[in-house]
Structure formats: C-alpha cells, structure tokens
Copies of this chain bind each other. A is one copy, B any other.
Amino acid sequence: MTRSTRQRGVIARILETAEGPLAVNDIHLRASQDLPRLGIATVYRTLKLLAEQQQIHAVTLDGETRYEAVGKGHHHHFSCNYCGRVFTVYNCPVQLPAGTEYPGGFVIEGHEITLYGRCPDCQKTQGPS
C-alpha cells in the first residue's frame, strides 16, 4: 500500500462483497454513497489499478464490462434473464483440465461459463415467462 487509499479500499470492498461482477456505473453508484464527490474517472483509474495489482479482474458479459474481486476460486456466472443481475456460482458443470484436447485440435487452457435463467428473487416475484 503506497498511501491514501480511501477510494481504493471502498471500491475493493464493494467488489469483494458483491453477489457477482459489477458494471462500472454500478460501482460508481455504490461507491458514491461513501464518497459523494467521487468522479467516474477515478473509478476507472482505480479499477485499472486494482486490475494491474491482480486484486480484481474484468469479465465481459452480455456486452458489458464488469469487474469482480479475484480469490473467489473457480466459479462461473449466472445472468438472470429477468432482472439482469449477474451472480457468481460455484458449481462447475464441466471437467476440462488444462491440456485437454478438443476435437479439431484445440488444446484447452481454461474455460468460462455463463449460465442464463431465472434467479431466486425472480422466481418469487414473477410467474413463468
């Protein structure tokens, strides 16, 4: 830690406690409650810095860049088709160790999965689509 790290801490904590990756606007909105004068440029700069430090990383989902804290272990994302929120889920439905060779000669080093569907909240509040 170099020095004054107020916004860095606020933003890092927001991402650590979020239910899933957050969009920049959302981060700005949430952080503004603690830091009312916070500018969007600082949000971008802080996110870039945290990403370089490997504390967070970007995921692109449904055309939007979102950020999440690292250190959550292997996980995937669930995007609710009804409310648009994205959640982190820990069950992994595949067995694809690095080195696995896929038909066609593609050698696998990693994978990302996004699940789509209805989140628990939207099951309570809405009937079937």
Contact = CB atoms under 8 A, between A and B. Distances in A.
Contact of A109 (B62, B94, B118, B123): B118
How many A residues touch the partner, as a band? 35 or more
A39 interface: no
Interface in A99-129: 102-120, 123
Which applies to chain A's interface (DSSP): helix, strand, loop or mixed?
strand
Given A63-B58, A113-B112, A102 B118 contact: no
Task: State the number of copies, please.
Answer: 2
A89 interface: yes
Contact of A78 (B94, B106, B114, B118): B106
Nearest to A65: B63
A35 interface: no
A53 interface: no
